Every structure is written in structure tokens, then in C-alpha cells.
Structure 1
Amino acid sequence: MSTEPSVSTVSPPAGSPSTTSRRTFIATTAVGGAVVAGGLTAGPSVFGVEPANAAEASPGSRVSLTVNGERRTVTVDNRTSLLDLLREHLGLTGSKKGCNAGACGACTVLVDGRRVNSCLTLAVRLDGAEVTTIEGLADGDRLHPLQQAFIDQDAFQCGYCTSGQIMSGVGCIDEGRTGSPEEIREFMSGNICRCGCYVKIVRAVEQTAHGK
């Protein structure tokens, strides 16, 4: 049987500073934390400092741009991305929010004829710009040749990335980056297809660029 005394029966040596038990320390810390937390949630700080107004409205700007041939003017928060402007303010939901970090390409649109990740592009920087989204490619009921090629080649599965793939493909063709399947894959590499339809996507771009 162990002869080691329990913690509760050991007294501090004579003349040494008083020690605090673990139980007392935890109880004291908990009470102190509750007091501080209560002060922080009660309005003015316990230190007499007024809390900052976190709900203060951020600055906004008026932006005019041409979207799919139509002039649009809106007032947006200066932090609004082009993607959120299109989806939330203009109701153009064809451009998808995938990663929202510029890594998947699902939000690709054309700005002044150039491919951009709309999730990384601030709307306030595009005053006067011309934006083309997937909704603006077709001519009435007549599909854009690349849209038709995606159907012909069965170049999609779930469809979530398709609008971005098509917009990037249009940009790739306009840039003249379609000399070979390898070149197409290289210049379309910023667009991710989680279903793995890359071979058929390349064929659709080839069909549109070269009439194959």
C-alpha cells in the first residue's frame, strides 16, 4: 500500500508563502472571466472605453458599366466584387461562385474582351467597362458556336463550371491560343472541372476554333 500522502493532507512548509489549490485557482479564474465578459457585453467597457461601432456603414460608389450590351448603373459597397454585382444586383446568376478565391474559374467573364475571375475583381474599378457574361453570348435563340460545341461534344456533366469554361474558351479562341490541344489545355488550365470532362472541353474549343 502506498505511503505517499494525498495532496489534501500536505501542509505548506512553515514560513513559506501560502499556496493556492488547483480547485481554488480554477474557481477564481472562472469568476474573473465572467465579470470581464459581463462588462464587455453590457455596453460601455469595464475600463471606461466606449466600444467601436462595428455596424458603421462602409463607403459605397456609383458604377456605370455595359453588361451584355446594356448600360447599367448601380450603387454598391466599395468591397463588392464583380461577381456579386452580377449575381446579387443585376440578377445574372450564370456566373457561378465556386471557390470565391480565383482558383477554380467558375466565375470567369470577359471584361473589355479579356478573361477575368469576377470573384477577384472589384466592381468599383470597372466604371465604363464592357462586361460579357454567359447570358450575353447567345444571339436570341441562336447559341454561340462554343455553346453549341459543348453540347455536340458532351463537354459537361454537373454543369457547375460550364459557364466559366465557355467564357474562358471564348477568350482563349479570341487570343489565338488554340494551335494544339496542348496549347488549349495550357491556356484553359485556370478553369477546373470537378467532373473531369477536360478531353471533351478541349474538343469543343477545337471544334469552334477550327471547325473540326
Structure 2
Amino acid sequence: MRLLVDVGNTALKVASEVNNNITIIEEGDINWSVVKEIAIAQVGPNKLLENVTTKAQQLSIPVRQAKVTCQLGAVKCAYPQFQNLGIDRWLGVVACHYLYPNKHCVVVDSGTASKVDVVTKAGEHLGGWILPGLDMMIESLVSNTQKVFSDSESLFLPELGRNTPNAVKNGALIATLGAVEAGIAQLNCDFEDIQVVFAGGYGELLQLHFEKPSVFIDDLVLKGLRNWCEFIHK
């Protein structure tokens, strides 16, 4: 069994992979006796990984740290300095290309930050944008203004706000959805040829309010990590 580990900015996501089947599990439920290899995609702090790496060292389990390369299979990175691209973005792009090989993809991973990336059906990563996540947008706005405030009760809705908390939260939502639409526009083709994929902590919310057909994939980075492992082992 291979253990797949996605180290985000604020949380750790762990999955077991057996015969290409990925199952998300709790860190405390890892069956260490059957783990043959660990693959890690890390953008967050080392402290989130301490328990996993300590156990791997104790049991002499090989650990592979996923890295961005200029090309992985058919997927080509848009960054000339590819090392500067976040591994989470890269694996999301890779996963989407292999999940939807006959479509251009707009990849939206929204958590602490919101990332929008565009990849063609040929595997050419065109680049992307990094925006503050919904919470970060709100916190930045509220902390830097005197009369703008938010609350924990108001929902994120794609409509005009009629009070200040609504205006703040809905503005963050609309700004992010606008970036998704802008990503679609970069492809300059019929929408039928495009697959929009949402992921991350706020991915499901964004997909709910996105008017065009799309999907939410909770384990997108882990799927990309599995793809990375397949190419590394070839």
C-alpha cells in the first residue's frame, strides 16, 4: 500500500492507494504494517508532517517528496522557472489533464488561497492566478477599514449585498468566481470543450454557486500525486 500525503497550509490530508484506488483516511487510522512507500506533496509547514515522517523513519519506509518539473508525461509547465510553481497547483493540473484528456481544463483550488490554473487538452499549462482565499479576502478588508465589518452568520451568496456583512462575503465570492470565468476566457473556445474542476476547502461552495457545468474533486492533489508516482516509477 502506498500512503499519499497532501500537506496544505493549515491541514494534512492522508490517503491510502491500493491498485490505483485512493481512499482518504484519518492520520490516526493509518495501517503502518502495510505501508510500502510514502509520497508527499507539501506546501504547508513541516510540523504537520512530524508524526508521519517520524513513523516512516522508525519503520524504514521510503519517502518520496513530489517536485515540480518542466514536464510530467504530456503535461508541460508554463513557468520558465518551474521550481517556483507550487506543487499543489502542479499536481492539480496534472490530475485534471489525465482525468479529462480530451478537454481543456480550468482548475480551481480554493482554501487559504484560491488558485486558478488553465491547461489545454494537449497538456500545455498556460499559467494561472493566485488570489487570497475567501476568508483572507474578508480578513484583509475588515482589518484595513474602519466601517467595513463581517459576521459568522451571513452566507456566501452570488447576489448584491443589502447589508455590510453580505456585501463583504458576497464580494469575495463574486471576485473568485470572476477569476474562474476569466480563466475560461483564456481558452477562447466553446465551453463544451472545457472542464472546470473545483477542489479545496471552499471548492464545494464555489462549485455550488458556479452557473456552468463543473465538478468538485475533494482529493484532486492526491490524484495528481498518484500520477506523479506512476511517472517516477516508470
TM-score by length of 1: 0.29
Q: As a proportion of its length, which structure holds more strand?
A: 2
Question: Relative contact order (alpha carbons < 8 A, sep ≥ 6): 1 or 2 greater?
Answer: 2
TM, length-normalised to structure 2? 0.27
